[in-house]
Amino acid sequence: MQKFGQGRPPPSAKPEPAYLRSVFGANLRELSKSAPSIAQLCRDLRINRTQYNRYLSGEAFPRPDVLHQICTFFQVDARILLEPLSEISNGEVIYAGGGTRIRSAIEEAGILQVDSKNLVPGAYLMMRRSSTDTEHLVVNLVSVRLEPDGSMQMFAVLTRNLAERVGLPKALYERRMTGVFFQHPGGISYLSIVRNMPIWDMGFLENAFMGNPNLFYGYSIVTQRFVTGGTLMEPVALKRIGSTMAEMMAARRLVGYTHISKMSQPVQKVFAQSERAP
């Protein structure tokens, strides 16, 4: 594999178009590695995938307006046409989708630094009232992790029977969910997504329901109705699970499409209180 800079013409030589295309293609391939997929990247960039593949292979240059679009998206400059990426950046490329300005605003606001004394990393049950049946909850096990950059992330897998119930793919890797929490004065918000699907769950949770520091409560909004007549906004709760094997096994038995009567009294009160619209 050709390395960055290999075969570079001396400074006095005029670079050949083929060389420039190869440099740009190599740089673009490196930048594209941070994206979840080329298809998603092309959608975010609003560039035809066939044309983008030609850029990647070094067969073509982008028009000036398209180059500007690519540079703005990846937060690099037009030197990616001329110089290896390793020489014009720190080599650390973060895929931020189409929301680089939003990401900057979030970082400036400092809301990615969630108070880990409040939201303690560990295992949780995330419970959302069914969009079609007020007597049942959609319950998932969630792992909350404190990442090296200080952000608080969530990881979960939808249960197979729940995926079947709402018409989602049944394969394990297709049922994975990832998300991130944000800190606010009155509680925490979150955004989670289902792998490779345009399904988002966005919510806000207040701290310490009835003084219980391990129980958060609020509302969530999903971006897709799974059945006719289903609602998009429903009450949601997040309950920390104890670290013993017995507590973990008891929590595991609640996962899935669960009748509210099987939940603890504090959790039942959360959803009884949430009958009213927020």
Q: What pLDDT was estimated at residue 76?
A: 78
Listed residue (71, 76, 78, 70) closest to 51, CA to CA? 70
Residue 184 included in any domain: yes
Query: Residue 54: exposed, middle, or buried by beta-carbon count in 10 A (0-12, 13-18, 19+)?
Result: middle
| Residue with more model confidence, 188 or 109 | 188
Q: How confident is the model at residue 104 (pLDDT cuts 50, 70, 90)?
A: low
Residue 182 included in any domain: yes
Residue 109 included in any domain: no
| Residue with more model confidence, 276 or 53 | 53
Same domain, residue pair 87 and 132: no
In 166-276, which ranges are E strands?
176-184, 187-194, 200-206, 215-222, 233-240, 256-259
Lowest mean pLDDT across 2-16, 120-134, 163-177, 219-233: 2-16
Same domain, residue pair 234 and 191: yes
Chain segment 179-223, per-residue pLDDT in tens: 999 999 989 999 998 876 778 899 999 999 989 999 999 999 988
- Dump the DSSP string for 16-45: PHHHHHHHHHHHHHHHHTTSS-HHHHHHHH
Whether residue 88 is predicted with pLDDT greater than 80 in this model: the reply is no
What is the residue range of 183's domain? Answer: 122-273
- The CA distance from 125 to 96, in Å, is 28
- CATH number, domain containing residue 62: 1.10.260.40
Number of folded domains in the chain? 2
Residue 223 included in any domain: yes
Same domain, residue pair 161 and 264: yes
Residue 8 included in any domain: no
- The CA distance from 166 to 236, in Å, is 18
Q: What are phi and psi of 41, to 5 degrees?
A: -60, -45
Query: Beta 122-129 vs 233-240: how paired, if at all?
Result: antiparallel
Chain-centre distance for alpha carbon 198: 11
Q: How confident is the model at residue 278 (pLDDT cuts 50, 70, 90)?
A: very low
Same domain, residue pair 91 and 130: no
Query: Residue 132: exposed, middle, or buried by beta-carbon count in 10 A (0-12, 13-18, 19+)?
Result: middle
**CA 273, 276, 278 angle in degrees (round to 5)?**
100
Residue 126 included in any domain: yes
**DSSP state, 261?**
G
Chain segment 48-70, per-residue pLDDT in tens: 999 999 999 989 888 888 888 88
163 sits in which H/E element: helix 160-166
**Mean local confidence (pLDDT), 33-44:** 83
SS3 of 45-102: the string is HCCCHHHHHHHHCCCCCCCHHHHHHHHHHHCCCHHHHCCCHHHHCCCCCCCCCCCHHH
Same domain, residue pair 248 and 149: yes
- CATH number, domain containing residue 227: 2.40.128.120
Q: Please answer whether residues 143 and 155 qualify as being in contact, where contact means their C-beta atoms are separated by less than 8 angstroms.
A: yes
Q: Please answer whether residues 257 and 135 qualify as being in contact, where contact means their C-beta atoms are separated by less than 8 angstroms.
A: no
| Residue with more model confidence, 138 or 101 | 138
